[in-house]
Amino acid sequence: MTEAAADPSMLWYLLGVPASVIFYGRFYVQWVVSEIRRKSVMPIAFWYMSSLGSLMLLVYGVATASALGTFSHCFNISVYSRNLIHIWRERGKLSPAVNVGVHAFVAVVILASVAVTAWTWWHVYDKRSAAPGAEMQKTAVWLGIGVLGQGLFAMRFLIQWIATERRRKSVVPTAFWWLSLAASILMCASFTREREWVYAGGIAATTLVYVRNLWLIYVSGTEQADVTD
């Protein structure tokens, strides 16, 4: 058996790479649909890919002890599921049983996510606490940059969530794309410094999509994107 094959972190790439393709590829699906419609729109596939990809990347983050990776996907499922709930309700596909079942599943996932994220952060701290003080400071600074970026990522979905709850339908305000662009720059820098290429590469690949959506919004004059099939 080769050294690479014996390395568990290499084996986890079998999960991490497809997870990254699904999660970050959702924006390319959104881009293609937007180009076809000649305006910024959000296909329902975006939310399905968000939910599945985020859960997979959470598992990958725990397996590879990525402090920022686990933190990034700790609460995301709550926003994705609420958008799907509104979409299903609007289209008459939401039964009481599905409504309760989805919310119960999300609650369990979030509780488990908080637990594994706390464990991962403690594991990372314990592993690096023996490093020289200067190296620990650099790690803390870059982790802080990543957390700031994740804060902006979370804020974009908070704004989208509020807009969605007010409209009682899934919509995406323009601020979502501006926050996405700023956050991706910070997160990509942090993940690159930690050499976490699955996350860094995926985030870097989405920046062009954010810019293109902002251009389509500017050209079309629309302030927000509705969900489409």
Over residues 190-207, the mean pLDDT reads 90
Q: Given this model, what pLDDT does residue 75 score?
A: 85
Q: Is the pLDDT of residue 26 over 90?
A: yes
Q: Given this model, what pLDDT does residue 65 score?
A: 84
The helix-helix angle for 96-128 and 133-167 (nearest 10°) equals 170
How many angstroms separate the CA atoms of 111 and 128, rounded? 26
Nearest to 33 by CA among 19, 17, 20, 49: 49
Q: Given this model, what pLDDT does residue 223 score?
A: 64
Print the domain residue range for 67: 3-228
- The region that residue 200 occupies, defined by phi over 0 for left and psi between -120 and 50 for alpha, beta otherwise, is alpha
How many other CB atoms are there within 10 angstroms of residue 161's CB atom?
A: 16
How many other CB atoms are there within 10 angstroms of residue 188's CB atom?
A: 21
Over residues 55-79, the mean pLDDT reads 88
Q: Which residue has the higher pLDDT, 132 or 215?
A: 215
How does residue 228 score in pLDDT terms, banded at 50, 70 and 90? low
For 167-181, write each residue's pLDDT tens digit.
888 788 899 999 999
How many other CB atoms are there within 10 angstroms of residue 137's CB atom?
A: 11
How many other CB atoms are there within 10 angstroms of residue 200's CB atom?
A: 19
pTM for this predicted structure: 0.77
For 68-113, write each residue's pLDDT tens digit.
888 888 888 888 999 999 999 989 999 999 999 999 999 999 999 8
Q: Given this model, what pLDDT does residue 69 score?
A: 87
Q: Is the pLDDT of residue 144 over 70?
A: yes
How many angstroms separate the CA atoms of 196 and 181, rounded? 19
Q: 3-state secondary structure string, the chain?
A: CCHHHHCHHHHCHHHHHHHHHHHHHHHHHHHHHHHHHCCCCEEHHHHHHHHHHHHHHHHHHHHCCCHHHHHHCCCHHHHHHHHHHHHHHHCCCCCHHHHHHHHHHHHHHHHHHHHHHHHHHHHHHHHHCCCCHHHHHHHHHHHHHHHHHHHHHHHHHHHHHHHHHHHCCCEEEHHHHHHHHHHHHHHHHHHHHCCCHHHHHHHHHHHHHHHHHHHHHHHHCCCEEEEEC
Q: Given this model, what pLDDT does residue 4 score?
A: 41
How many angstroms separate the CA atoms of 85 and 94, rounded? 7
How many structural domains are present in the chain? 1
Of all residues in the chain, what percent carry a pLDDT higher than 90? 45
How many angstroms separate the CA atoms of 176 and 46, rounded? 14
